[in-house]
Amino acid sequence: MVAKLHIVPKQVDNAFSIRHDIVPQFGSIWHYHPEIELHYLVKGEGIRFVGDSIGNFQQDDMILMGSNVPHTWKCNMPSSSDYNVEALVLHFHPECLGKEFLNVYETQGISKLFEQAKTGLIIKGSSKEKIKRLMWRMLRETGLNKVVYLLRIYVILLESREYEVLSNSVEYTKFNQLDGSRMEKVLSFTLQNFRNKILIEDVAQLTNLSVTSFCRFFKMTNNKSYFDFLTEVRLSHACRLLIKTDYTIAHIALDSGFENTSNFYRHFKNVKGITPKQYKNLFFSA
C-alpha cells in the first residue's frame, strides 16, 4: 500500500531513539521510514497494517519492522474520552553504529536480521519478555549505557526463533505524495465502511481515478486487489469478535460486512485455512 515518508524525530547527535508514547491514538497515517522500528504495545488494541499484512494488535504485542516497511495502527476507540493507548517505540537506522560495524566478524548475521525484518516480525515468548525489560531500562539510560542495551537487544533478536513473519513481500513500491494521499483516503474510507456494502465505483471516485485505473493502481502497489484487501479487513474484525465476544457466527458474519454466513465461512476458510469455530477453539486452547 502506498505510504508517506516519515521523518523519525530524534536529537541530532543521537545514533538512535526510544520513546514512551501515551496518546489518545497512534499516528494513523500510512507511512515508512529508513529506520528499523521495534514497537512494544503496552496498552491498546485495533487493526495493524504492516507491509501487505493486515491483522489485529493488542496489549503486550511486540513488532519488529525493517527499513522502509510501510505501516500504520488503527486503534479501536472506546467510549471513554480520556482513554489513552501506550507504547514503547525504538527506532534505529541499520547503520546507526557506523557502516563498518556491520562488516566485522563479530557482527555477522546482523545484516541478515535487518533484511528479514523487512517482512515484519511478531516477537514472542521469552525473547519478547527479555527485550521489553531492556527497552524499559534503555528509556532511563544515557550515553554508552544506552548503546549497550541496544546491542543486547541485537543479540536476543539474532539468537531468537520465537517470532512470526507478518508480510509476504520485502519489496515495496516507491510512490509520490499524490499516491500517498489517495491511499490514505482509501484506507480511512474502508475502515469506516467495511461493515456495509462497498462499491468499487465509490472507492475509485475517492482517488479521482476511473474504476479500471484504480484497480490497476491498487493491484500494482499492494500485490492484491481492492476486494482482497477489503476481505482481509473484514476478517481481521471477525477474528477479534471471535476472541473477544460470545456473539454467534451469524452475528459476527453480518457485523463484519459479509452478505451471509456461508459467504463468511468460505472467505474465512480460504484465507485462514480453518473454520471460524476452529479458529476460536485453537485460540482458547493455546
Residues 20 and 140 in one domain: yes
> 73 pLDDT band (50/70/90 cuts)?
confident
pLDDT tens-digit series, residues 194-234? 999 999 999 999 999 999 999 998 888 777 899 999 999 99
Question: Considering 165, 190, 217, which residue would you say is the last residue of a domain?
Answer: 165
Residues 158 and 185 in one domain: no
Residue type, 280: K
Q: Please indicate, yes or no, if residue 243 is contained in any of the structural domains.
A: yes
Percent of the chain with pLDDT over 90: 52
Q: Give 260's contacts (C-beta < 8 A, 6+ positions apart).
A: 253
pLDDT tens-digit series, residues 96-124? 888 888 888 888 889 999 989 988 999 99
Residues 119 and 205 in one domain: no
CA distances from 190 to 104, 184, 187, 250, 257 (A): 47, 10, 5, 22, 11
Q: Which three cell numbers stand for residue 102?
A: 556491520
CA dist., res. 286 & res. 273, Å (int)? 17
- Please, are residues 257 and 221 in contact by the beta-carbon 8 Å criterion? no
Q: What is the CATH number of the domain that holds 267?
A: 1.10.10.60
Q: Please give the mean pLDDT across all residues of the chain.
A: 86
Predicted TM-score (pTM) of the model is 0.76
Q: What is the CATH number of the domain that holds 141?
A: 2.60.120.10
Nearest one of 29, 48, 52 to 219, comparing CA atoms? 52
The parent domain of residue 76 ranges over: 4-165
Number of separate helices (H) and strands (E) present in the chain: 10, 11
Please identify which residue in the block is written with the cell numbers 560495524: 101
Please identify which residue in the block is written with the cell numbers 502497489: 221
Q: Please indicate, yes or no, if residue 172 is contained in any of the structural domains.
A: no
Question: Considering 165, 200, 233, which residue would you say is the last residue of a domain?
Answer: 165
Residues 206 and 250 in one domain: yes
Please identify which residue in the block is written with the cell numbers 524499559: 136
